[in-house]
Amino acid sequence: MQSFSVCSLHSRFLLPIILSILHVALAQEGFCSQPSSSIVNSDSITTPLYWKVTNPTLSPSHLQDLPGFTRSVYKRDHALITPESQVFSPLPDWTNTLGAYLISPEMGAHFVMYLAKMQENSKSAIPKDDVERFIFVVQGSAVLTSVSSLSQELSVDSYAYIPPNLEHLITSTYVTTVLVVFERSYVALKNHTTELIVSSTDRQPLLDTPGEVFELRKLLPTSIPYDFNIHIMDFQPGEYLNVKEIHYNQHGLLLLEGQGIYRLGDNWYPVQAGDSIWMAPFVPQWYAALGKTRSRYLLYKDVNRNPL
């Protein structure tokens, strides 16, 4: 009641004066604002009514701010998870680390892909029995210690493959280290084992890509013991996949740089750095790089095992 009487006092005696001097301030929310913005609206003085209809927002970065707007989708055979949809919570058994699972078996994947945000004095947990782990540093730096080697520092663009059941610890003292992590149950073969690998993208040679134009590096050995690989694929603006791929392998993708269009099934998605994609077996897939800078993505792919 009191606020009503203050407002009506303003309306009768002060409002005409304030309107003529401070109409901009009056239009702001919470200051006895008028219910109808078309009556007292600073915009209406400088811009015509309905001006957004003829001056639409074209920039994707503005679209990000629209309430409820997201480019993320989740479908039976693919998902696009964009940064505004990532949900972080404490990673089970890790210390001072928040995680966002972007791909998991609930989707139909046989692996998990997650972002781990390691804060100061953070520590990893051990994966479950028979689970292999791959980590790639996106931001900051981490130290990997294992029973089979000395401690090694991993900076941005460095990665490690940790074989199943190898005791190890990832720590970070940096604020904030961001890792992308892949884990899956190892499909063992008789007389074969995998080894601890620590390296960086720039130390991997460019590989031949017959019939394609993109540049390809593989971060893991292509030999039989390894049941997945991680590809780093680079496209210059205007380059695209020649093969409109359909294959039995699954993918987990993180777009590290650039922007373009990803085709998944019958859907065409504008994508940019920071986006992640799950591709189920046999989903039609195709990418074209656009924009002004190269596109680089990191791609999980299961290999070297008979699907039967």
Residue number closest to ligand UGY, CB atom: 285
Contacts of 157 (CB under 8 A, 6+ apart): 136, 137, 200, 201, 202
276 lies in the site for ligand UGY, by CB under 6 A: no
CB burial readout 211-239, b (16+ within 10 A) else e? eeebbbbbbbeeeebbbbbbbbbbbeeeb
Write down the least CB distance from residue 210 to ligand UGY, Å: 12
Q: Tell me which of 86, 245, 291, 294 binds Mn ion, using CB under 5 A.
A: 245
Residue among 184 and 231 whose Cβ is closer to ligand UGY: 231
Q: Tell me which of 82, 158, 285, 295 binds ligand UGY, using CB under 6 A.
A: 285
Residue among 94 and 286 whose Cβ is closer to ligand UGY: 286
Q: Tell me which of 245, 257, 282, 290 binds ligand UGY, using CB under 6 A.
A: 245
Residue among 43 and 245 whose Cβ is closer to Mn ion: 245
299 lies in the site for ligand UGY, by CB under 6 A: yes
Taken in order 125, 126, 131, 136, the sign of the CA dihedral is positive
Write down the least CB distance from residue 297 to Mn ion, Å: 11
CA distances for 128 relative to 33, 134, 185, 277, angstroms: 58, 14, 9, 25
Q: Tell me which of 75, 123, 294, 301 binds ligand UGY, using CB under 6 A.
A: 301
Write down the least CB distance from residue 211 to ligand UGY, Å: 11
Residue among 166 and 283 whose Cβ is closer to Mn ion: 283
Query: Can you give the binding site for ligand UGY, defined by CB under 6 A?
Result: 231, 233, 245, 251, 285, 287, 299, 301
